Amino acid sequence: MALADPLFPQTVDGIIPIQSVTNDGAVIVLIPAYTNPAPLDQITVLWNFIGRGQYTVADYNPSFPIVIRIPAVFAPIGRYLVSYIIEDRFGNTTSSETVLVEVSNNALLLEAEVSTANIVAGSGIPHIIDYWLITPAGVGAPGRLLQYSVDGSATLVPPLSDTTDGNGHTQLRIFSGVPGTVTVHTVLASDPSTVYSHIRLTFFGTLLTQLISAEVQADKAQGNGLGVNRIRYQVRTLAGDLPVANAAINFSATGGAALSPSAEFTDSNGYITLTLTNNTSGIVTITALLPSGLGTENFTRVTFT
């Protein structure tokens, strides 16, 4: 008789996460139904060709799939060749095909970036969140289903879910006609308890009058504490597009980057120049905001090599 391949219910996106093995204390192997099961059939799972799990059939109608556990001590991070053998009470044996399984900590990561701020409720302008589903190596994961939901008064576009494109990217727009804060929840449909994002967004009830723009003047400095990236910001009025002098701007950055200055006032032409250094390489996102609340926030990214 031909035996079906063993199944691995802990598999997520082609791997068995080491976290699942640790939590369950074992790799779980499912033995599919086979022809003419009988009492005393001995099922042995071969884990890299060594018997690591066994099950003895008790009657003619066992409950399938049969669960066999490979203790976690035999399944650290790595790749394994897995098959199973069924030996009946007369000593006849049948083997399944050997399959390759991988136990890994390379779970997918969900990165999110809000590219909007200070959105006015009822303006018809949405908050926008860009999502990237990537491997730890930074490679996009295409064709994966993300599911969306929201706490609060808001409309999502698309409303329930979206599939990542060839770069692992999706974009979500959030509209609201009611001032206040909403929370957007996004999960990977195949692994919602591990791969997820929760983002709070605020819709304001007053109109804004100013805008912060940014010009990256120096990028890709060395992340050695000496290399300098530079951004020039300008504050202008929304009405008339005029520079705003003496406008306070507060700055913050991700990735441990050092900022100079962290807060300052614009000059007579509405400009402030910001310099950044960092002791590590990577992408840094800088947030510039007007503490007056009169203007939009600005999000700009630079890279340290």
Using alpha carbons, select from 198, 116, 86, 96 the residue that is nearest to residue 151. 198
Nearest to 216 by CA among 305, 116, 301, 117: 301
- Look at residue 77 in the predicted model and tell me its pLDDT: 85
Of the candidates 74, 91, 68, the one whose C-alpha atom is nearest the C-alpha of residue 21 is: 74
Cα dihedral angle (161, 163, 165, 166), rounded to 10 degrees?
160
Which alpha helices (DSSP H) does the chain contain, by range? 18-24
pLDDT value for 66: 98
What is the structure's pLDDT at 234? 96
Supply the pLDDT for residue 232: 97
- Per-residue pLDDT band at 18 (split at 50, 70, 90): confident
Single pTM value for the model = 0.44
For 116-157, the pLDDT digits (tens) are 877 888 889 999 999 999 876 677 889 999 999 999 999 999
Which residues are within 8 A (CB) of 58 and not within 5 positions of it... i.e. 6 or more apart?
39
Strand partners, 162: 146
Q: Check pLDDT > 70 for residue 107.
A: no
Number of other residues whose CB lies within 10 A of the CB of residue 255:
19
pLDDT (0 to 100) of residue 151: 96
